[in-house]
Structure 1
């Protein structure tokens, strides 16, 4: 793996995987670094025919994949996790190059990817059914009845740019571990990251032949995957508009969608304000705010509003912004120029509507810094939509009841949090929050890969996390022996 590329300047070349066979095309797409604009990787530009070929290979290989012994699939995943650990620095470097994720956080993503694969191995041991007492009712009779879980067949996985390694693992590790075949369409922003991980799977001595294919592209490839009758599950992480398209095109098959969010927290007057401010600065600006559960809305009790605003502005100004290759960099550039221009327009719009910038706000050498907006109101566009940028908004509220009403008044429902030392308020929040996950005394950006992850309303359908993904990627078969 180290031989794929050995420096920060070499252009890395991703290849197609038609099952276990590598291939290439004359037409290539270039990936430029969001940090310095240099070409960092290339990948074949696939089309509908390439996608159909990959799907056909996956369909042909599905029967053999389903019959692969569980012990072999476990050895396969363990082998990938082991070799990924050995290649940690190479993977971290390609993350920093392709998506400008700071190298310290790139290493963390590699570590999380290893953990995701290992968690999948642990959960595979519990992928079982149970016996059912068919004589429980007078109309029944005593039989041997049970159910078991079986692989669905072919799974199509479509992944985003913000965690282009770990979110691939969250899909393909459970899908392959359950005995399926997979066609992966990774984000165009990080083709080499996906290729390197796929190569670990394909090259493993324990690999199931032709179980994993990788095709690169955008709408044409994605639409071909979604409309095809071959995949039995579409697993997608990305935007709400694309999620809507997938739902309209997929037909009768399972669809798992992890979509956008507008994460919020409430700062109660009983909270430890210094700790809350430090954690909120981290949660709002981690990965340049390009996280579905990035903290976007902070509702602050009006009695401590000014104190908290000063504290979070101070914490925000401490964050180092700059080169993703430096170990102490907290935040690098946004993914592309479109994201940068969109961020500028968010700030300008909020300022025109009366909000104040109390930290950041002005682009510095092509990087938009962590920005805190104060005196934001419900009517402002910046708080109503998902910004997916390093911007957080402060809103003063008279108390908890107003805060939870405003938090829930959103089309999104991914994760919310609260900072408080009031036990009754904590209990109320757990009941009241209309979202997929709640966090007490920390940021809504907190997520552990072992947990179920997903949201309500426009934030998606289904849950990720190895245990729950294995359920998505299997079907229940009911058996009766009389």
Structure 2
């Protein structure tokens, strides 16, 4: 049943899921490895008509998904998690093939995906309403009143390349678990990864017929999902420009957007400099900096600026850059040549503006080396926009007050952090930081799948994480019995 899991080193074709039915198309797109350049997977080229068909199938299926018993949906999620655990190594290698994520981190992503699905199954138990005292006001009267949560019907999901497995699970597991039907458009960079996960869902003995469809494509397919009046919720993770288009085109439906950020931290003079530098190195360069909460801006107190700059530069030079297939590789290549060229331009532009290159700035085995830029100022492009590359900027500040103003002076507000041993400063930072999440004494790149995740400003709308996604993918129905 799961032949696609038997040999990860062969090229495999992803297939369309029109509901539970697998289909092929005459035209296919090829996915080439960012590391080797070899073709590693193929996916059908879907049309507007394919997308519309998938949406219509989902609309019909949503009638049955809404009526399905909760115990079946819980068993469904648990079964998929168990199957994924069985094929852990294969799925990790598929991620390495398609997006060149280092093998050690690809395994971590598979493990997190399993946890995300299992956490969703647990949270389903708590997805309920509550009673309401309708006689609390003089104008009311005593009744039996309550509200409950019901599935929205159809959910459309669009996912990115940087976590091609776990971010799919963060959308489809809660959507299906809540009793909806789903149409998924995965990233073009990792079609096989998404297909393999979808196959586990659709081949489960507990699967609800036609509940999950998968289509592939780019602008036309995505636009069809966005503009259609069939989905009640659209969940998207990606760039701000695309998110802006979605909000203009979506019409009357719930829209959940996770649009990236420009993560920052403050290194207080009371902080442990060595520990802070080690953690900041990880936060800036994990996944080649291609994470929405990659640490991009580090505001360092002037008393420890020089020592911190030396420490983080030393740490970054010790990271292994190279083949994503080697067990001890920390960083592989960026997702494509365009991203590599853009990273070079970022660095060269900053140097021209007066920044100092402390480490990196070169290409190693096709990968852009971990790059530390010092003496960066507020006006430089490298700190004003989302880099999405292994580049981190150090900015010297005289005090916390200066740092927090600079951190908040950004159109993004996803996650910020602070390194300090000053309790009062910690309390101030929690209140002052204009973002969706704050981290104390660790990197803003820290995320637990169980927590609410999302941002303010241009970083998005809504929250992910099983508990909060279940709320996104359900609606409140109020009931009064007189």
Q: Distance in 2 between matches of 1:300 and 1:365?
A: 32
**CA deviations over 1:186-236 (Å, ceiling 9, x no partner):** 000000000000000000000000000000000100000000000000000
For 1:269 and 1:2, the matched residues in 2 are separated by 55
1:198 aligns with 2:198: yes
Contact 1:5 1:12 in 2 (8 A): no
Partner of 1:187: 187
What does residue range 81-480 of structure 1 map to in structure 2 within 5 Å? 81-480=81-480
Q: Distance in 2 between matches of 1:9 and 1:428?
A: 52
Within 1, Cα distance between the matches of 2:363 and 2:150?
Answer: 52
Q: For each residue in 1:128-175, what CA deviation from the matched residue of structure 2 results, as whole angstroms up to 9, or x when unmatched?
A: 001101000111111000010000000000000000000000000000
TM-superposed CA distance for 1:10, in Å, is: 1.3
Superposed CA RMSD in Å reads: 0.8
1:39 aligned partner? 39
CA contact (8 A) 2:322 2:364 kept: no
Corresponding residue for residue 74 of structure 1: 74
Cα separation, 2, equivalents of 1:217 and 1:2:
24
**SS state of the match for residue 367, structure 2?**
coil
Task: Give the drift of 1:364.
Answer: 2.0
State the Cα deviation string for residues 222-273 of structure 1 (Å, max 9, x = none). Answer: 0000000000000000000000000000000000000010000000110000
Report if aligned partners of 1:2, 1:90 keep a CA contact under 8 Å in 2: no
Task: Please state whether the residue corresponding to 1:395 is helix, strand or coil.
Answer: strand
Deviation for aligned residue 1:2: 5.7
Q: Distance in 1 between matches of 2:181 and 2:364?
A: 46
Return the alpha-carbon distance in structure 2 between the equivalents of residues 333 and 197 of structure 1. Answer: 24
Measure the CA separation in 1 of the matches of 2:304 and 2:5.
52
Corresponding residue pairs, total? 482
How far apart are 1:7 and its partner, in Å? 4.4
1:230 is paired with a residue whose SS is coil
Q: Secondary structure at the match of 2:157?
A: strand
Cα distance in 2 for residues equivalent to 1:2 and 1:221: 27
**2: distance between equivalents of 1:263 and 1:53?**
40
Partners of 1:377 and 1:7 lie apart in 2 by 50
Mapped to 1, the partners of 2:472 and 2:435 lie a distance apart of: 20
Using the TM superposition, give the Cα deviation of residue 47 of structure 1 relative to its aligned residue in structure 2, in angstroms.
Answer: 1.1
What is the deviation of 1:4?
Answer: 1.1
Displacement of 1:477 in angstroms is: 0.3
Shift of 1:366: 1.6
Please list every run of at least 4 consecutive aligned residues from structure 1 whose deviation after the TM superposition is greater than 6 angstroms.
none
Whole-Å Cα distance in 1 between the matches of residues 263 and 2 of structure 2?
39
Structure 2 CA distance, aligned partners of 1:9 and 1:174?
A: 32
Could you say what secondary structure the match of 1:421 adopts?
A: coil
CA distance in structure 1 between the partners assigned to 2:9 and 2:449 by the alignment:
33
Partners in 2 of 1:339 and 1:143 — Cα distance? 61
Map of 1:11 onto structure 2: 11
For the structure 1 residues 103 and 230, does the alpha-carbon distance in structure 2 shift closer, same or farther, using more than 3 Å as the test?
same
- Where 2:364 maps in the other structure, the secondary structure is coil
Structure 1: runs of 5 or more not aligned: none
**1:6 Cα deviation (Å)?**
4.3
Looking at structure 1, the residues matched to 166 and 213 of structure 2 have their Cα atoms a distance apart, in angstroms, of 18
CA contact (8 A) 1:5 1:11 kept: no
1:331-364: CA deviation from partner (whole Å, max 9, x where unpaired): 0000001100100100110010011111111112
Alignment TM-score, normalising by the size of structure 2: 0.99
Contact 2:8 2:90 in 1 (8 A): no
Secondary structure class of the residue paired with 1:134: coil
Gaps (5+ residues) in structure 2? Answer: none
CA distance in 2, matches of 1:15, 1:8: 16
Query: Any idea what the Cα deviations from partners look like across 1:53-101, whole Å, max 9, x if unmatched?
Result: 0000000111111000000000000000000001000100000000000
Q: Secondary structure at 1:264's aligned position in 2?
A: strand
**Local SS of the residue matching 1:434:** coil
